[in-house]
Amino acid sequence: MLVVRPTSLPLAIGLALFAVAGQAFSDSAAPNVPEPTPSQLLNVPVTKILPGDVDLAPNIKNPVADDSAAAARGMKYFANFNCVGCHADNGGGGMGPALSNRAFIYGGKPENIYLTIAQGRPNGMPAWGPLLPSSVIWDLVAYVKSISSEPEESWGKTTSLEALKTEQVPAEFQSTPDPWKYTQPFADGQKPSGG
Amino acid sequence: MSAPNSLLVALGLSALAVTVSSLALAASPGSGHDVFMHNACFACHGELGYGGAGPGFRGDKMLAADDYVVGRILFGGGIMPPFGGELSDVEIASVGTYIRNNWGNQFGAISPEKVAAARQTLSGGNAQNPPGAQGATQ
Amino acid sequence: MTAHHHRLSLVAGPALALAAFIMGAVGSGAVLAEPQNEQNTQGSAQAPNEPEATPPSPQPPAAAETKPPKQPEGAHSLPPPAAAETKPPEQPEGAPSPQPPAAAETKPPEQPEGKAQTSGNETPSTEKPVESKSTASNLEALSQDPKQWPTAAKNYASTRYSELDEINSTNVGKLQMAWAFSLGTNKGQEAAPLIVDNVLYVIGPYPNEVFALDATTGDLKWSYAPKPDPAVQGVACCDVVTRGLAYDEGKIFIATLDNHAVALDAKSGQELWHTKLGEISKGETITMAPLAAKGKIFIGNSGGEMGVRGWVTALNEKDGTIAWRAYSTGPDKDVLIGDDFKPFYDSLKAKDLGVSSWPPDHWKNGGGTVWGWISYNPEFNLIYYGTANPGPWNSNQRPGDNLWTTTIFARDADTGAAKWAYQMNPHDLWDYDEINENILLDLDIDGQPRKVLVHIGRNGFMYVIDRQTGEVLSADPYDTVTSIKSIDLKTGRPVVDESLHPDLEKVIRNVCPASPGAKDWQPTAWSPRTKLLYVPHQHLCMNFKTSQVGYIAGTPFVGATVDMFAGPGGYRGEFMAWDPVAKKKVWSIAENFPVWSGTMVTAGDIAIYGTMDRWLKAVNAKTGEVLWKFHAGSGFIGQPVTYQGSDGRQYIAILSGVGGWSGAIANAEIDPRVRNGALGFAGANQDLPAYTKGGSELIVFAIPKQAAVQAEAAHKEGHYAGSAPH
C-alpha cells in the first residue's frame, strides 16, 4: 500500500497561501522596513566561509526590528506554536537547544534565525515555512533576539560552582519578553527565591 | 480476458483514474478534515480543537452562527488571513461543517450555496462584525 | 499470480500509482493498492498504523556456540544452559497469513542421532536441561544461570539479583577496573549490557549503535550501525537514550529511537529483519528495552509529551511480523479488552472507558505510552507493564479519568488480551507516569503467601499488588509526598490534596514529588537473602503552572511551566533499602544529585549503584555501608550487571555517560540559568555541568586475580553460604 505523508503539501497551494497570508499580516508590521525578497533569503549563507573572502551576502534587516511590540507578539507565538515545548520558557532549552544565550548553531543574525525556523534543520527543528506567514516568523525572530541577549562577559564560557552566580527569575513567577532584565542569585538546585 | 483487451481496460482505467483525480484536485479534497490540514488551519486552531494562536473550536458557541463562520473563513479578520481567494465554496462549506461538528460539537452543516451567497452579501468591510456575532476579535 | 494479471499490473501499475498518489495527496477516497511484497501486520487483533516489515534475510543465522564455561569450584552446580537451536527463518510468500504464529515451542534441543559433539551447532548437555512448568525457555534457563545476564532485568521477575558471590561484602573493596570500551556517542547512557555465553552486548543512545564484545577480554567482536533518521532527535523528550536490548535464541533485538525494531544474528551481527513501528512525524519514538518471551518481542512506544497515542506491540521473533498491538487509550477493541478482562475495582469495569473517560476524540492523542519496563510471569503466561502520563500535562483540558494512562496492565503474552488493569493516577495532574518496573515476588503478607507484584510508584507510593487479580494490598509513601494524601485501598484511588490542584494559569508551589516522581524509570533490585528492595531514586519538589496548549502533530503537547528543586533537607537523591512486608525504609544513603542509575544486588550481599556526579558505589546490602567507590569519566544513569567470564572470575559492568531527562543539562545545550529548561529539570540540576559532561564508556570491574584466589579459598571454607537457585 502506498503511504502518503499528510504533510506533503502541493507546492502551489503552499506558496499561494504564503503570499496571501503574508499580505494579510503585513498590516501589523512596521510599514517602512521592507521584507527581504525570496532571492535575498536564498542567498543568506549559513557559514562564515565565503569564497574569495568577499562579503557578497545580502544585507537584511528584520522588517519588524523597529517595532517595539514585535517581541511581545513573538512571545505569544512562541507559546502558540509550541516552540516553548522544545525550547522551554525563556528559551532555556530541553529537547531543543537553549535560545537564552548568544550561541546559535545555525547563525544568530535575524535572517539566519528566520531561515532556521522556516526551513527546519536536520537534527530535529521542524520546518514552519510552509505553514506560517513570514510576518509571524519575523516576530518570532524578534522574540528570540530579545531572550538571547544574555549579559555578555567573556568570549567563551567558564563553568564552575563559583562561576554560576546568577539565574533568571523563573517563568512561573513572571512572564516577560525580556527575561534577562530580571535575575536572582543562582540557587544550586535548591528552591528558587520567590518560591 | 485476452491480453490486448486487458491492456485497453488498463489504459482506460488509468485514464479514468487520472480524470477523476484531476477533478478531485480541482473540486476539493474528500473531507473537511483534509481542508483543515492542507490549508494550515491546524497550525493556529490545533488539530484537537484546543486552539493556539487562534481560538479553540471545542464547544465554541460562536460557531453556532454559520454566517460568522463563513464570513471569517472568507474574509479573515484580526490576525486570521482571508481564505476566500484560496478555497472554493465546496471547500469552505466542507471545513466549516467539519469544525462545527467535530470534537463533540453539533452545530450543523454549511452548504456551498451558503458560502456562495455570503461572497455576495458579506463584503470585506463587514467581515469584522458579520451578522450574528458579537464584535469578533482575536 | 497469472501471467495476465502480471501484465496488467505492469501497465496499469505506474498509472494507477500516480493517480493514487494524487488522490492520496488530496485525501479523497481509497488509495489504490499497488501489488507489492508486503509483509506485515495483523496478528489476531488490530492493524497498527503503518507498520512495515522487511522480509528476513534468507541465510540461516549461525547458532550460538556454547561451550560450558569453566565452573569454579564451589560455584552453584547448575546445568549448563541449553544450547540455542536456531532454524532458518521462513521465506515470506506475499502477505503472510494473519493467524498468530505458533508459539515458539520450547523443548530441550534435539540431540542429532549418531552425532556426539561434532556438529558445532549445539553442546550436548551433560545434565538434563532445567524444566519449569510447561514452557521452560532457553531465556529462563539462562536467567537462572548465575554466569549469565541475558535480559536487562536479569530474569522475567525483574529482580536484578545475581547468585554470584565471588565479589562480596568482605572483598569488594579490592574491586578494580579490568577494561573499558568507549561507545563513541556522548549522550545519556541508560542501557543495561547483556552477557550471554561470554559475549557482552550493549547498545548506545542515538544513533543506537550496537556492540558485541568478548565479556572477559573486552575485545570487539562486531558492531552494527542502524540508520535512524536524524530528525528524531527533535522529538525525543528526554535525551536520545535507550534502556537496552534483548537476547533470545541466538538473536539480538533492538529498538531504534526512530521506531525501528531490528533483529541481529548474535554471533555475526548481521541484520536479520527490521520492522517500522511508529512515526516520528507524529512525535513517536522508542526508548525502552524490548523484552523477549515466548517467541515474541514486546516493545512499547514513547512520546506522551508529544500527544502520541501509547501502545505495546508484540512482534514475532522469527520474522519481525506483528502479532498483536494493544493501545493504551481508545475503544476496548483497540485496548484488547474483552471477555477475559476482570479488573478488581468497580470504576474500571464499564465498556470503552478508554473513550468515555476523555473529552471527545482526545483519546487519539492521549498518551499512555509504554516506555518503561515489562515483566513476565511464565506460570500465568502474563506480561505486566505500566503506562505513562496522559497528554497534555495541563489536566484542565482533559476532564475525566483518562483511561488507560498511568495504568498497570496484566496481559496474555500470546494474544495481548488484558486480564486485569489498575489505574494508579486517574486524571493525572502532575505527569506521574507509571511505567516503573513491576517486580514479581512471592511474599508473606499478613501471614499468607501471596503472589504479588511490587511497583515503586512515580507518585511516591510503594505498591504491593496481587498479580493475579490487580488488588492493591498496600500502598505506602516512601518519600516526601504533598500532592497525594493517601491511597484509598477500598477504591484503589489516590486521595489528592485539592489545595494543590493546578487550576489554569495558577502557580502551585511545593508539589512533592516533582514530575519525575519520587522514582522515575531507574530500576530497583530485590534480594531474596535480605528480603529487601534496593531503590535508586530522587527527592525533588516543584513549582507548577498550567496553560492552554494546542495540539500540532510533531510538536510538544504539554501546557505546563515547571521548576524543580531539592526536597526537604536539601539533598536531591537517595539510594535506599526498603522492606515491602514491613513497609518501611531500612537504611538509606542521601546523595547530592538524583540517583538516576539502576542497581543490582548479589548473593555476595553487595548492591551497586552510580551517581550523576561520576561515582560508582558498592554498598553492604544488609547495612548500607559504602564499601567501595570509583570516580568514573562521566556521571552514571545506566544499569549495572554482573556475570562470570570465561576465566571463571566475576565481573561487574556498567555504562558511564550522564544524560537522560535528569542529566541532559550536562551533555546538551541547556542553560543552567533558566530554571524551567528541560521541562523543569534544569532548575533541579542546574549545577550538574560543574561536575560532569557526557560520556560513552562501558566500564568493567573485577577483583584482581590474587585477591580472587584468596576469596575462593574463603568460600570453600564455607564463609559464604549461597542461597538456593531462584
Exposure string of A160-182, with b = 16+ CB inside 10 Å and e = fewer, is eeeebeebbbbbbbeebbebbee
The answer to whether B40 contacts A130, with C-beta atoms less than 8 Å apart, is yes
The answer to whether A25 contacts B82, with C-beta atoms less than 8 Å apart, is no
> Touching A: which chains, 3+ CB pairs < 8 A?
B, C
- d(CA C616, nearest CA chain A) in Å: 22
Amino acid of residue C648:
G
**Residue of B38, B50, B73, B138 to mutate, testing the A interface (most A Cβ within 10 Å of its Cβ):** B38
Contacts of C465 (CB under 8 A, 6+ apart): C408, C422, C452, C453, C454, C455, C471, C472, C473
- d(CA C547, nearest CA chain A) in Å: 9
More confident position, C690 or C20: C690
What pLDDT is recorded for position C42?
37
Mean pLDDT of chain B: 79
Using CA coordinates, name the residue in chain A closest to C232: A124
Torsion, Cα of C64, C67, C71, C76 (10° steps): 40
The answer to whether C672 contacts A167, with C-beta atoms less than 8 Å apart, is yes
Chain C contact present for B40, CB below 8 A? no
Report how far apart, in Å, the C-alpha atoms of C643 and of each of C69, C80, C390 are.
Answer: 12, 14, 39
Report how far apart, in Å, the C-alpha atoms of C638 and of each of B1, B45, C349, C698 are.
Answer: 65, 41, 39, 10
Asked whether the predicted pLDDT for residue C200 surpasses 50, the reply is yes
Q: In what order do the strands lie in the sheet with C573-579?
A: C525-527, C532-538, C573-579, C584-591
Angle at C277 between CA C271 and CA C283, to 5 degrees: 125
Task: Tell whether A79 is covered by a domain.
Answer: yes
Task: Enumerate the residues of chain A whose CB falls inside 8 A of the CB of residue C676.
Answer: 88-90, 92, 170-172
CB C29 within 8 A of CB B32: no
- Could you give the CA distance from residue C7 to residue C13 in angstroms, rounded to a whole number? 9
pLDDT tens digits, C322-355: 999 999 999 999 999 999 999 999 999 999 999 9
CB C81 within 8 A of CB C141: yes
The answer to whether C676 contacts A82, with C-beta atoms less than 8 Å apart, is no
Of chain A residues 74-103, which have a CB less than 8 A from chain B? 76-77, 80-82
Q: What is the mean pLDDT of residues A149-153?
A: 90
- Could you give the CA distance from residue B91 to residue A13 in angstroms, rounded to a whole number? 14
pLDDT tens digits, B63-83: 999 999 999 999 999 889 999
What pLDDT is recorded for position C33?
38
CB B48 within 8 A of CB C308: no
**Residue of A2, A7, A13, A84 to mutate, testing the B interface (most B Cβ within 10 Å of its Cβ):** A13
Q: Using the 8-state DSSP alphabet, how is residue C3 labeled?
A: H
Task: Enumerate the residues of chain A whose CB falls inside 8 A of the CB of residue B52.
Answer: 80-82
Q: If you write DSSP's letter for every residue of C620-675 in order, what string do you get?
A: ETTT--EEEEEE-SS---S--EEEE-TTS-EEEEEEE---HHHHHHHHS---TT-T
The beta-carbon neighbor of C12 closest among B1, B10, B28 is B10
Q: What is the mean pLDDT of residues C623-641?
A: 98
What pLDDT is recorded for position C716?
72
The answer to whether C675 contacts A94, with C-beta atoms less than 8 Å apart, is no
Asked whether the predicted pLDDT for residue C450 surpasses 80, the reply is yes
Chain A contact present for C714, CB below 8 A? no
- d(CA A77, nearest CA chain C) in Å: 12
The answer to whether B47 contacts C397, with C-beta atoms less than 8 Å apart, is no
Chain A contact present for B44, CB below 8 A? yes
Of B115-129, C357-371, C674-688, which range is least confident? B115-129
What pLDDT is recorded for position A152?
81
Confidence at C255, pLDDT banded by 50, 70, 90: very high
Task: Outline where B1-138 has alpha helix (H).
Answer: 3-27, 32-38, 41-45, 66-75, 89-101, 112-121
The answer to whether B81 contacts A21, with C-beta atoms less than 8 Å apart, is yes
The answer to whether B47 contacts C359, with C-beta atoms less than 8 Å apart, is no
Chain B contact present for C362, CB below 8 A? yes
Of chain C residues 535-564, which have a CB less than 8 A from chain B? 548-553
Confidence at C44, pLDDT banded by 50, 70, 90: very low
The answer to whether A6 contacts B52, with C-beta atoms less than 8 Å apart, is no
- d(CA B71, nearest CA chain C) in Å: 24
pLDDT tens digits, C53-65: 444 444 443 333 3
CATH code for position A26: 1.10.760.10
- Could you give the CA distance from residue C603 to residue C261 in angstroms, rounded to a whole number? 35
Query: Which residue in B69, B76, B71, B80 sits closest to A133, CA to CA?
Result: B80
pLDDT tens digits, B81-118: 999 999 999 999 999 999 999 999 999 999 999 999 99
Query: Which residue in C204, C242, C234 sits closest to C660, CA to CA?
Result: C242
Task: Enumerate the residues of chain C whose CB falls inside 8 A of the CB of residue A82.
Answer: 549-550, 552, 555-558
Element (H, E) at C592: none
> Is CATH 2.140.10.10 the classification given to domain C164-714?
yes
- Could you give the CA distance from residue C161 to residue C163 in angstroms, rounded to a whole number? 7
Task: Enumerate the residues of chain C whose CB falls inside 8 A of the CB of residue A10.
Answer: 25
The beta-carbon neighbor of C553 closest among B34, B47, B49 is B47
- 3-state secondary structure (DSSP) of residue C276: strand
- Could you give the CA distance from residue C57 to residue C272 in angstroms, rounded to a whole number? 5
Q: What is the mean pLDDT of residues A184-195?
A: 90
Exposure string of C1-27, with b = 16+ CB inside 10 Å and e = fewer, is eeeeeeebeebbbebbbebbbbbbbbb
- As for how many domains chain A has, the answer is 1
Asked whether the predicted pLDDT for residue C683 surpasses 80, the reply is yes
Of chain B residues 49-108, which have a CB less than 8 A from chain C? 49-53, 56, 58, 102-104
- Could you give the CA distance from residue B83 to residue C533 in angstroms, rounded to a whole number? 62
CB C641 within 8 A of CB C192: yes
Task: Tell whether A59 is covered by a domain.
Answer: yes
Chain B contact present for C20, CB below 8 A? yes
Helix B66-75 to helix B112-121 angle (10° resolution) is: 70
Asked whether the predicted pLDDT for residue B124 surpasses 90, the reply is no
What pLDDT is recorded for position B11?
56
Task: Tell whether A193 is covered by a domain.
Answer: no
- Could you give the CA distance from residue C546 to residue C544 in angstroms, rounded to a whole number? 7
The beta-carbon neighbor of C12 closest among B14, B29, B53 is B14
Task: Enumerate the residues of chain C whose CB falls inside 8 A of the CB of residue B52.
Answer: 549-550, 552
CB C537 within 8 A of CB C595: yes
Dihedral sign (CA C688, C693, C699, C702)? negative
- d(CA A146, nearest CA chain C) in Å: 15
Confidence at C706, pLDDT banded by 50, 70, 90: confident
Of chain A residues 23-62, which have a CB less than 8 A from chain B? 23-25, 28
Task: Enumerate the residues of chain B whose CB falls inside 8 A of the CB of residue A131.
Answer: 40, 43
Strands (DSSP E) along C425-507, which ranges?
438-445, 448-456, 461-466, 472-477, 484-487, 494-496
- Could you give the CA distance from residue C301 to residue A163 in angstroms, rounded to a whole number? 40
Helix A70-80 to helix A134-147 angle (10° resolution) is: 100
Cβ-based neighbour number of residue C118 at 10 Å: 7
Contacts of C163 (CB under 8 A, 6+ apart): C76, C146, C602, C603, C722, C723, C725, C726
Query: Which residue in C4, C641, C588 sits closest to C289, CA to CA?
Result: C641
How many contacts, defined by CB atoms under 8 Å, are there between A and C?
A: 195
Mind telling me the catalytic residues of C? 305, 389, 431
Using CA coordinates, name the residue in chain C closest to B1: C4
The answer to whether A88 contacts C679, with C-beta atoms less than 8 Å apart, is yes
The answer to whether C669 contacts A98, with C-beta atoms less than 8 Å apart, is yes
Contacts of A62 (CB under 8 A, 6+ apart): A33, A70, A110, A114, A138, A141, A142, A145
The answer to whether C15 contacts B45, with C-beta atoms less than 8 Å apart, is no
Exposure string of C389-428, with b = 16+ CB inside 10 Å and e = fewer, is bbbbbbbbbbebbbbbbbbbbbbbbbbbbbbbbbbbbbbb
pTM of the model: 0.82
Asked whether the predicted pLDDT for residue C182 surpasses 90, the reply is yes
C655 strand-pairing partners: C698
- d(CA C394, nearest CA chain A) in Å: 12
Q: Which domain holds residue A127?
A: 13-150
Asked whether the predicted pLDDT for residue A16 surpasses 50, the reply is no
Q: If you write DSSP's letter for every residue of A92-142 in order, what string do you get?
A: --SSS---SSS--TT--SHHHHHHHHHH--TTS----TTTS-HHHHHHHHH
The answer to whether C678 contacts A94, with C-beta atoms less than 8 Å apart, is yes
More confident position, C106 or C664: C664
